[in-house]
Amino acid sequence: MASSNDRTSTHTQISASSDHDRPKSADAKKDMWSSMLDSVASGKRLPEKNILVLGGTTESQREFLEGLSAEDSKRNQDRQRKQPPIANNFALGYTYHDVLDADHEEDILARLSLYLLADPSPSFTPLLQPLLTPQTIPNTLIVVLLDWSQPWFWLRQLRDWIRLLRTLLVSLDEDCKEKMEEVMIGWRDRGRGGINLDGGGISSTAESDVSLPLGPGEWEEALGLPLCIVCQNSDRIEALEKDRAWKEEEFDTVLQYLRTILLKHGASLIYTIPSVPSPLQSLIHSSLGIHSLLKRQPLKHNVIDRDKVVVPPNWDSWGKIRVLREGFDVEAINKGWSLDIEESYHPISSGDVHANGTNSHTEDATPKVPGGATESYEELVRDPSLDALQAASAESNGLKLEVSSTDAQTFLGTQLAALDKLRQGAEPSGMDSSRLVRGPGASLEGEESLGNEARVNEHIGPVQFNMGGIQVDADDMLQRLKDRQSYQTPEPTTPSTTIPDGKTQNETLANFFAGLVNRGSAANSPRPARS
């Protein structure tokens, strides 16, 4: 039988053993609860998506944000939620937007962080580099804004932005480049085989093996990030028809150039109108992999309505582009765009660029690429302001335009010279001597001068004045006096009769006219009242 001391020692050992095991069990429970809480927190964490909005002005960037969040903004107003502020007045702007589920308004599908940049200057490249990491690259979309108010600048703007992006993406580290290559491989398989155009994933590994091969011109200049081009204010197409006399040929040319260029980058295209519903939200969300939990909105293409064009990624091809209008050289434009975006042609500096990315100088401010797509595009889609500049340049170089009529100032100058000549020969009495009929001994300066005077007299007409209520033709009166004086011959006189000579007769006529004037003034004076 064991002693009491043995029982005590045994109990002490058991207690010590149980005390030693108890902390281990508590730590295990604590780790289990921590992992469970972390998993729940990660499940409720919002997926974060990034959009780099390039180009446009502060107003057009706001319009893009309004079109992107039109439906969600109404829901936030109904629930009295404040809209996030937009900071886009200086350098790199920022705002955010919560994407709500279409069926369940309380469910937030993702949070969009939008970074806004309006200037393609290389000096802003360091601001964009921190935004691209191996974690953010799979959740990033690039959007370039264009405006229908200046479609002749579109390829120039796209060229500058693509050059900037190529410079930016090449400057990233190797981890980022590997991630971009992985993202691009996934994007090239979207929309092919059994994959939906709205961005639905591949359901099985077998479907990825039957995806269609790339066609000519597709994904030849992959950027490493998905790209979407948004052409705003397509309602101004009607203004181009009325003011610039654009026809369907010009609109088709613009669309063919855009589709050929974007096909090389695997990009999408959409035309938008402010305050008009469009598939912009569906296109942006599907490009970022954001989909409703219960309702998936299909994304359809549209190349028929010229103001509502939608070209999803991986839908277009050279064959579809040629069908739009015959005679378009897809191969030449494809090669020309590769020359335009070469790194040897750097973007223009920030001082030469407006807020919307357009060049502030003439078309020669940036070097043209011989055989480039931008050069051929600007020859077909002319900038209206260049016509006036070229006309002024031609005049400064001594090139005169042919006209079919005499200049107005030249004609008036010749008439002024003729009037000055007539004014110099005027008589002291104020009457034009050229209007007098010259006698046989009068001298003329030539037949041409006589003809000019006759034409002037024809336009001036007879000179008349009023004497005492009687309208007198001065030319006719002077002519009669001249005739009387010239042809009067002296006749024999008798002592009882005195015949006045020509001078006396003229004085008599002058007195007669003076009397008429006096009588006229007396007739116009007020008469005294009769008694």
Domain boundary pick from 392, 412, 428: 392
- Are 324 and 470 in the same domain? no
**152-173 per-position pLDDT tens digit:** 999 999 999 999 999 999 999 9
Task: Identify whether residues 81 and 226 lie together within a single domain.
Answer: yes
Burial label for 466, CB within 10 Å (0-12, 13-18, 19+), is exposed
Within a domain: 352: yes
Do 352 and 468 fall within a single domain? no
Instruction: Check whether residue 48 and residue 182 sit in a common domain.
Output: yes
Structure-token match 């790199």, residue found? 92
- What is the predicted pLDDT for the residue at 22? 47
Specify whether 313 is located in the same domain as 461.
no
Give CA angle at 150 (144, 156), nearest 5°.
55
Q: Are residues 358 and 258 in the same domain?
A: yes
pLDDT of residue 436: 40
Looking at residue 159, its pLDDT comes to 96
334/356 Cα distance (integer angstroms): 26
Largest CA distance in the chain: 209
Q: Copy the structure tokens of residue 86.
A: 């937009």
Residues 384 and 470 in one domain: no
Residues 341 and 478 in one domain: no
User: Does residue 240 form part of some domain?
Assistant: yes
- Expressed as residue numbers, the domain containing 472 is 449-486
Identify the pLDDT of residue 361: 38
Instruction: Provide the residue type at 227 as one letter.
Output: L
Domain-terminating residue out of 343, 376, 392:
392
What is the pLDDT, as a whole number, of residue 434?
42
Tell me if 316 is assigned to some domain. yes
C-alpha to C-alpha distances, 336 to 368, 370, 498, nearest whole angstrom: 11, 9, 110
Q: What is the pLDDT of residue 213?
A: 82
The answer to the question of residue 70 being in a domain is: yes
Residues 249 and 325 occupy one common structural domain? yes
- Residues 93 and 232 both lie in one domain: yes
Q: Find the Cα–Cα–Cα–Cα dihedral 101, 107, 108, 109, rounded to 10°.
A: -60
Classified as helix, coil or strand, 226 is coil
Is residue 78 domain-resident?
yes
One domain, residues 58 and 127: yes
Domain count, the chain: 2
Output the six-digit token pair for 335: 């090669």
In CATH, what number is assigned to the domain containing residue 310?
3.40.50.300
Q: What is the pLDDT along the chain (531 residues), one digit of tens a residue?
A: 444 455 444 444 444 444 444 455 566 666 777 777 666 555 557 789 999 999 999 999 999 999 988 765 555 555 556 778 888 888 899 999 888 876 656 678 889 999 999 999 999 999 999 999 999 999 999 999 999 999 999 999 999 999 999 999 999 999 999 999 999 988 888 766 444 545 444 444 444 445 678 899 999 999 999 999 999 999 999 999 999 999 999 999 999 999 999 999 999 999 999 988 889 999 999 899 888 766 667 788 999 999 999 999 999 999 999 999 999 999 999 999 999 998 654 443 333 434 344 444 334 445 667 789 999 999 999 988 876 666 556 555 655 545 556 677 787 888 888 888 887 765 444 444 444 444 444 444 455 555 665 665 665 566 666 666 677 677 777 777 777 766 655 555 444 444 455 556 667 666 766 665 565 555 555 555 443
- Asked, for residue 513, whether it belongs to a domain, the answer is no
Asked if the structure places residue 496 within a domain, the reply is no
Single out the residue in 357, 372, 392 at which a domain terminates.
392
Residue 125 lies in a domain: yes
pLDDT digits (tens, 9 = 90+) for 10-45: 444 444 444 444 455 566 666 777 777 666 555 557
| Per-residue pLDDT, 260 | 97
Same domain, 232 and 349: yes
At 101 the pLDDT is: 78
